[in-house]
Chain A
Amino acid sequence: MEKSFVKKILIFLGILFLAIMLVLPLVSVLFHAFENGIKVFIKSISNEEALKALQLTLIAAGAAVIANTVFGIFASFLITKFSFRFKKIFSLLIDVPLAVSPVVAGLMLIFAFGKRGWLGPVLDYLGTKIIFDIPGILIATIFVTFPLVFREIAPLMQTQGTEEEEAAAMMGANWFCIFRKITFPNIKWALFYGSALCASRALGEFGAVSVISGHLREKTNTMTLYVEILFNEFELASAFAVSSILVMISLMILILRTIAEYKAKKWEDK
């Protein structure tokens, strides 16, 4: 009796908290986005600037997912299937991007690749520019999401060991075949989960990108930066409309991620 009363209170508080902290803001974004009718909504998101921002955001997220997936697979292989010196330091370094604030990460990149940065002269000589330009946005996004895929698959590969791979090798398989038929199927759901995590994080990235972008309209604006600009200019309806797009993409990824997580769990239990 007593217990079920406590339980009810806790459930009530939990739901209240979720409602105030999550559902209310979420709904309000969608509500405000459509407040002035669907026409205003469509106009807000279909102008040149909004489309450019959406495009850049998707490109940056895509680049982050691809780069970090490739890196994550290689690094996990290195860490779990081989032994070498400085292994500890190596895996510690991979975590740096998650440990520092994105704004600081942005500054670090400026010091490294900026005009007066260490690599500045080299980039100048090559005639390319990274900071305040699209490559900078991509690098910043990749940087802040760097360890996400690695962190998902490395522990899994560690617990799975190397024996299945060795067994495949004994049956005559070459390394590519071993990866394709043994390693990859064993990590694919964790890999997918990590990629989705990376994508969500990349879509929402603000700090590092804000520092790097130089706020050049229609050139280096991502969705989040664009929302900020609209907000500062009191274009609230447009700000909400653009935000709602981000929200919808994120929700979609969240659903995919949940599916992947479920599958990965089931996989690990085997």
Chain B
Amino acid sequence: MYVELKNVNKKFGNFTAAENISFSVPKGSLAGILGPSGSGKTTILRMIAGLETPDSGDIIIDTQKVNELSPNRRGIGFVFQNYALFRHMTVFENIAFGLEIQKKDKTFIKNRVHELIKLVGMEGFENRRPHQLSGGQKQRVAFARALAPNPHLLLLDEPFAAIDAKVRKELREWLKETVKKVGITSIFVTHDQEEAAEAADKIIIVNRGKVEQIGTPAEIYKNPATPFAAKFIGDAVEIENYGNFHGFKIENGFEKALIRPEFVRISKIEDEIYPYASERGTVDGVSFKGRSMEIKVNVRGKSFLAYHSLEEAPIFAGEKVSVLIYKMYLYNNEKVKLIENASLKNEQEFSI
């Protein structure tokens, strides 16, 4: 393991910002720390960088314990949430800064900076100052600046937060490609699950200063380990009295359930396949989500979301539809449990 945190704790006054944080990141991989605002993501990143000191626990980078090592000797590249470009320097000077600190010779610096400017696609902007750049361009410069001194670890704090949706997606893919191309171990912070899922090899979910779950995006998506993870990942809608729905019985110890849009199939009443497992519902609203329609449906007074393919017969707001819930997550304060529609099982067996 390249980066390892072992039981790291950090308090600000008597507020616990990080509690028993342990995780590891293999060499050359891209890890995403995902959590809601105020969950301690930045604090964790800053402790790895050496900008905050943990109260207890070990931070190990490349087999060396770095707790006592000052930030300027850790060889880490850091991309700040709002870039923190040096405002009085040009793009070129910003990127060259780290190399000048390393006392590299002039021609080397020039070549390396140009190489990086090309890598981040900022040719022609060498002499601009930060206030003459757009958010996305600043992001690229910040990234190039962090990479210039050849860090062995790259930390990025919400690198895309200030950028609009379309550019964000482009930059995200570009970052993933670039990180893989350079082959540098990287950790980035985000509160956007989609971003984490798309870019990261491994996701670390944090909440209230604690690690909730660690895993690949698919693992976390499929098997949320904690109620928080189940609620936070996917556009799950919380419902009570889930026993009212066909095919589901109240289980002891589980009061509430979560339904993800992917767990629901909506069809026109005449196209209904499994009548005993299905419900009748009313469409509250329909919105276009690029590749499919997102449908808000109301069943027995409960609203939740479902997707509907554009290839199928269109469904309109106010329409009565057949709603089939395949499965749902039951959860209490400690546990999550996936249960499937029992009637559906019977029907499928029956029809075979």
Seen from chain A, the residues whose Cβ lies within 8 Å of a Cβ on chain B are: 163-164, 166-174, 177, 181-182, 185-186, 267, 269-270
Contact = CB atoms under 8 A, between A and B. Distances in A.
B86 A182 contact: yes
Interface stretch (B23-31, B94-102, B245-253): B94-102
Contact of A186 (B72, B87, B98, B131): B87
> In terms of DSSP, what is the predominant structure of the interface of chain A?
helix
Given A166-B51, A173-B72, A186 B88 contact: yes
Given A171-B101, A171-B145, 13 more contacts: A168-B86, A170-B49, A170-B51, A170-B72, A170-B76, A171-B72, A171-B98, A171-B148, A172-B102, A173-B101, A174-B72, A270-B88, A270-B130
Contact of B149 (A169, A171, A181): A171
Contacts of A168: 86, 97, 101
Interface string B34-55: 0000000000000001010000
21 contacts: A163-B80, A164-B84, A166-B51, A167-B85, A167-B86, A169-B72, A170-B76, A170-B78, A170-B146, A171-B72, A171-B98, A171-B101, A171-B145, A172-B72, A172-B101, A172-B149, A181-B97, A186-B88, A269-B131, A270-B129, A270-B130
Interface string B74-92: 1111101010111110000
B289 interface: no
Contact of A170 (B71, B86, B131): B71
B300 interface: no
A164 B87 CA distance: 9
Nearest to B84: A163
A186 B98 CA distance: 18
The 8 closest A-B CB pairs, nearest first, are: A171-B98, A163-B84, A170-B78, A270-B131, A167-B84, A172-B101, A185-B88, A169-B71
Given A172-B149, A173-B72, A166 B98 contact: no
B50 to A, nearest CB: 8
B181 interface: no
B97 A171 contact: yes
Nearest to A161: B84
B73 interface: yes
Nearest to A173: B101
Interface residues of B, number: 29
A170 B80 CA distance: 11
A184 to B, nearest CB: 10
Contact of A172 (B73, B80, B84): B73
Contacts of A170: 49, 51, 71-72, 74, 76-78, 146
Nearest to B99: A171
A270 B130 CA distance: 8
Contacts of B86: 164, 167-168, 182
Contacts of A167: 78, 80, 84-86, 145
B61 to A, nearest CB: 13
Contacts of A269: 131
A178 B83 CA distance: 17
A166 B131 contact: no
Interface in B260-280: none
Nearest to A171: B98
B161 to A, nearest CB: 14
Contacts of A182: 86
Contacts of A172: 72-73, 75, 98, 101-102, 149
Nearest to B101: A172
A50 to B, nearest CB: 44
A173 B100 CA distance: 9
A157 B160 CA distance: 26
A177 B85 CA distance: 16
A269 B88 CA distance: 12
Contacts of B49: 170
Nearest to A170: B78
A98 B102 CA distance: 45
Nearest to B102: A172
Nearest to B94: A167
Contacts of B85: 164, 167
A182 B84 CA distance: 11
A173 B99 CA distance: 10
A270 B72 contact: no
Contacts of A270: 87-88, 129-131
Nearest to A174: B72
A162 B51 CA distance: 11
A169 to B, nearest CB: 5
A164 B97 CA distance: 12
Contacts of A181: 97
Interface in B125-161: 129-131, 145-146, 148-149
A173 B96 CA distance: 13
Contacts of B70: 169
Contacts of B80: 163, 166-167
Contacts of B71: 166, 169-170
A169 B75 CA distance: 10
Contacts of B129: 270
Contacts of B98: 171-172
Contact of A166 (B84, B102, B149): B84
A101 B241 CA distance: 75
Nearest to B130: A270
A177 B101 contact: yes
A170 B73 CA distance: 8
Nearest to A182: B86
A167 B80 CA distance: 8
